[in-house]
Homo-oligomer: A and B are copies of this chain.
Amino acid sequence: MIDTNKSVATELAIVDKDAMELVYSYPTVPLTVDCVIFGFDENALKVLVIKSDLAQFHGQLSLLGDNVQSNEDLDNAANRVLKQRTGMSNVFLEQVRTFSKPDRHPGGRVVTTVYASLLNIKHHELLLHDNELKWHAVNQIQEMAFDHKHILDVCTQWLQKRIQEHPLAFNLLPVKFSLRQLQNVYEAILDVKLDRRNFRKKFAAMGFLNDTDEMETHVTHRPGKLYTFDFVQYQQKKKNFIGIDF
């Protein structure tokens, strides 16, 4: 029963005090975020990495990470880290997973929440180059600092699944693109070779492509037709749309 002699304000204060005491009793842990920024360029899937700060991992590649500030949520932390490390903003980051093995960081226990994104390298010029910030081809990375190679592998699988469920690929292309460009995206991300004729048939059947009457120009071969992605058709057909299977 509520004691009606107490004001509502007092009641709340006491209640909050209980909750605060509870929270104070919890052990606390250093928290970081790491960003796995995938990019597509020159027909290869790349990822944005730096050289590790730590002497222990001297020369090794590391994801873009930092600790989470005291009153910052993880989404904000990830966006802040990305901006601080690369100068990029307005990147759509998605939370992938939280990694928490107690020995994953040599300096002691650190829990990290990983965010990933996929963007067009040409549309996001790197403004900073601290710690040798660079794009590396994903399939050429053998070793990384911490557990970052494992994290990268998890994120690569995440991306491969994600791109088959959702047409993220179109984000990587200009508004008008050729089927070859589209196919390159899928081949690079899924790490497979696809048959050109079957690929065209599949996308033709999906009906998300609008045929412009334009062609490629200044290419050293027969120019291909240019298409646009039909967002309206996609939204309408989305409910019946299971995915893109190769």
A106 within 8 A of B: yes
Q: Which residue of the partner chain B has the closest CB to A102?
A: B71
Count of interface residues, chain A, beta-carbon cutoff 8 Å: 48
Whether A19 contacts B68 in the complex (CB less than 8 A), given A73-B101, A100-B73, comes out as: no
Contact of B55 with A109 in the complex, beta carbons under 8 Å: no
Contact residues, A67-98 vs B (CB, 8 A): 67-75, 95, 97-98
Q: Could you tell me the distance in whole angstroms from the C-beta of A21 to the nearest C-beta in chain B?
A: 7
Contact of B110 with A18 in the complex, beta carbons under 8 Å: no
Neighbouring B residues of A31 by C-beta, 8 Å: 26-29, 31, 111
Q: How far is the CA of A21 from the CA of B20 in the complex (A)?
A: 29
Neighbouring B residues of A20 by C-beta, 8 Å: 106-108
Neighbouring B residues of A29 by C-beta, 8 Å: 28-31, 68
Interface of A is mostly: mixed
Contact of B27 with A70 in the complex, beta carbons under 8 Å: yes
A216 within 8 A of B: no
Q: How far is the CA of A175 from the CA of B32 in the complex (A)?
A: 41
A5 within 8 A of B: no
Contact residues, A1-45 vs B (CB, 8 A): 12, 14-16, 18-32
Neighbouring B residues of A95 by C-beta, 8 Å: 97-98
Q: How far is the CA of A138 from the CA of B168 in the complex (A)?
A: 32
19 pairs, CB–CB < 8 Å, chain A vs chain B: A15-B55, A16-B56, A18-B56, A19-B107, A21-B107, A22-B54, A23-B30, A23-B109, A23-B110, A26-B110, A27-B31, A27-B69, A29-B30, A31-B111, A68-B100, A74-B98, A74-B111, A98-B113, A242-B245
Residues of A within 8 A of B (CB): 12, 14-16, 18-32, 53-56, 67-75, 95, 97-98, 100-102, 105-111, 113, 242, 245
